[in-house]
Amino acid sequence: MIPPQTLQDGRTPAESEDAAVQAASGEPTAAEPTAGEPTTGEPDVTQAVYALTDRSRAASRLLASATRAVKDRALRAVAAALTERQDAVLAANALDVEVGRVNGTSAYLLDRLNLDPTRVAGLARALEELAALPDPVGSTVRGQTLPNGIRLRQVRVPLGVVAAIYEARPNVTIDIAGLALKSGNAVLLRGGSAAAHTNAALVEIIGAALEESGLPADAVLSVDQYGRAGAAALMGARGRVDVLIPRGGRDLIQTVVRESSVPVIETGEGNVHIFLDESADAEMATDILLNAKIQRPSVCNTVETLLIHSGAAAAPAVLDRLAGAGVRLHVDERAKALLPEGTASEPATDDDWAREYMALDLAVGVVDSVDEALDHIRRWSTGHSEAIITNDLANSERFIAGVDSAAVLVNASTRFVDGGELGLGAEVGISTQKMHARGPMGLAELTTTKWIIQGEGQVRQ
Amino acid sequence: MIPPQTLQDGRTPAESEDAAVQAASGEPTAAEPTAGEPTTGEPDVTQAVYALTDRSRAASRLLASATRAVKDRALRAVAAALTERQDAVLAANALDVEVGRVNGTSAYLLDRLNLDPTRVAGLARALEELAALPDPVGSTVRGQTLPNGIRLRQVRVPLGVVAAIYEARPNVTIDIAGLALKSGNAVLLRGGSAAAHTNAALVEIIGAALEESGLPADAVLSVDQYGRAGAAALMGARGRVDVLIPRGGRDLIQTVVRESSVPVIETGEGNVHIFLDESADAEMATDILLNAKIQRPSVCNTVETLLIHSGAAAAPAVLDRLAGAGVRLHVDERAKALLPEGTASEPATDDDWAREYMALDLAVGVVDSVDEALDHIRRWSTGHSEAIITNDLANSERFIAGVDSAAVLVNASTRFVDGGELGLGAEVGISTQKMHARGPMGLAELTTTKWIIQGEGQVRQ
ipTM exceeds 0.85: yes
CA distance A107 to A168: 13
Please tell me whether residues A252 and A312 are part of one structural domain: no
Min mean pLDDT across A234-238, A421-425, B337-341 is at A421-425
Would you tell me the crossing angle of helices B68-84 and B117-132 to the nearest 10 degrees? Answer: 170
Contact status, residue B218 vs residue B56, Cβ threshold 8 Å: yes
What is the distance between the alpha carbons of residues A122 and A174, in angstroms, rounded to a whole number?
11
Mean pLDDT computed over A112-120: 95
Query: Which of A183, A445, A458 best tests the B interface by mutation, with the highest count of B CBs <10 A?
Result: A458
| Amino acid at the residue B84 | E
Residue ending a domain, choose from B259, B287, B316: B259
Which of A259, A289, A313 is the C-terminal boundary of a domain?
A: A259
Residue in A152, A159, A459 nearest the CB of B287: A459
The Cα A65–Cα A157 span in angstroms is: 9
Judge if B223 and B290 occupy the same domain.
no
Q: Is A381 a member of any domain? A: yes
**B456:A288 CB<8 A:** no
| Alpha-carbon distances, residue A349 vs A330, A332, A382, A440 (angstroms) | 8, 8, 17, 30
| Closest CA–CA distance from residue A214 to any residue of chain B (Å) | 19
Instruction: Judge whether A31 lies within some domain.
Output: yes
Same domain, A104 and A233: yes
Q: Are residues A284 and A389 in the same domain?
A: yes
Q: Is residue B52 part of a domain?
A: yes
Q: Kindly report which listed range (A56-65, A256-265, A297-306, A399-408) carries the lowest average pLDDT score.
A: A256-265
Kindly state whether residue A227 falls inside one of the protein's structural domains. yes
Taking the C-alpha atoms of residue A82 and residue A127, their distance in angstroms, rounded to an integer, is 10
- CATH code, domain with B284: 3.40.309.10
Q: Is residue A145 part of a domain?
A: no
- On whether both A244 and A276 belong to a single domain, the answer is no
Q: Are residues B60 and B176 in the same domain?
A: yes
Tens-place pLDDT, residues A276-327: 999 999 999 999 999 999 999 988 999 999 999 999 999 999 999 999 999 9
Within-domain flag for A326: yes
What sign does the dihedral B272-B278-B284-B286 (CA atoms) show? Answer: positive
Q: Which domain holds residue A180?
A: 17-134+158-259
The pLDDT, as a whole number, for residue A251 is: 87
Indicate if B246 and B169 belong to the same structural domain.
yes
pLDDT value at A141 more than 50: yes
Is A153 a domain residue?
no
Q: How many CB atoms lie within 10 A of CB A127?
A: 26
Contact A411/B436, CB-based, under 8 Å? Answer: no
* Residue B458 included in any domain: no
Chain A interface, best mutation among B156, B448, B449, by max A CB count within 10 A: B448
**Min distance B184 CA to chain A CA atoms (Å):** 13
Give the pLDDT confidence of B135-166 residue by residue, as tens digits.
Answer: 999 999 999 999 999 999 999 999 999 999 99
CA–CA dist B304, B352 (Å, integer)? 9
Query: How far off is chain A from B381, nearest CA to CA, in Å?
Result: 12
| Helix (H), strand (E) at residue A55 | helix A43-64
Instruction: Compute the distance between CA of residue B312 and CA of residue B276 in angstroms, rounded to an integer.
Output: 7
Question: CA B80, CA B276: separation in Å to the nearest integer?
Answer: 49
Given a cut of 70, is residue A9 above it in pLDDT?
A: no
Q: What mean pLDDT is reported for chain B? A: 90
Looking at the fold, whether B232 and B88 belong to one and the same domain comes out as: yes
- Check whether residue B340 and residue B409 sit in a common domain: yes
Question: Residues B294, B241: one domain?
Answer: no
Considering the domain architecture, whether residues B249 and B310 belong to the same structural domain is answered as: no
Which residue among A259, A286, A312 closes a domain? A259
Domain CATH code at residue B37: 3.40.605.10
**Number of domains comprising chain A:** 2
B342 and B410 both lie in a single domain = yes
pLDDT per position as a tens digit, A394-439: 999 999 999 999 999 999 999 999 988 888 877 888 999 999 999 9
